[in-house]
Chains A and B, each alone.
Chain A
């Protein structure tokens, strides 16, 4: 489930149901100064109780809209199943 130079871990338990086609805001997390990227993962189960993970890594530009164009990093940062 976890791979890559910088591992992720389900530090933040969040028991919730996300309906099909739905979006949800989970939390606002303070961004430390002078960081360039944010990365993380979501752990969830499907209707057959099979566990899956979605990982992401996003670049943080000045304008606030995060980008997916982070290059030169390990592929495990964008792993999903």
Chain B
């Protein structure tokens, strides 16, 4: 829709200019002193006509370049949004990867003894230190679970 408006405006402007030049050329002009018209008698008009033609071409190229720049900008916006989303996802992902992952348990020692002890062990398999706060260990039978 935007390009239609641009092209319609350009066509209207150029049509007005060329039409005005055409109407101007139809008007009667005073003949030169030698009784007929030559190319050099209308040098200013020819100059305006040629300049108008060049202006049309250059304007067309300018509009086309502007549209291409606009489209390139739109594509860059899409790429920038994707890069931003990737950066945000990465920033959210890093704490989960780098954090501490604590695990625990332990054996019962000594085996098959009358008085046994559960050795509470803890290990950190994460990439950063863990700040241990507290723990709890309880015993039960399978029926209670």
Q: Which residues of A contact B (CB under 8 A)?
A: 5-6, 8-32, 34-52, 54, 56-60, 62-66, 68, 70, 72-74, 77, 80
Contact = CB atoms under 8 A, between A and B. Distances in A.
List 10 tightest A-B contacts by C-beta distance, closest first: A64-B111, A10-B134, A40-B137, A46-B99, A23-B123, A28-B117, A35-B139, A18-B124, A45-B131, A26-B120
Name the interface size band of chain B: 35 or more
A14 B134 contact: yes
B133 A14 contact: yes
B96 to A, nearest CB: 9
Contact of A46 (B117, B128, B144): B128
A26 B121 contact: yes
Contacts, number: 198
Nearest to A57: B145
Contacts of B117: 28-31
Given A18-B130, A44-B100, A64-B112, A29 B140 contact: no
Contacts of B139: 31-32, 35, 37-39
B34 interface: no
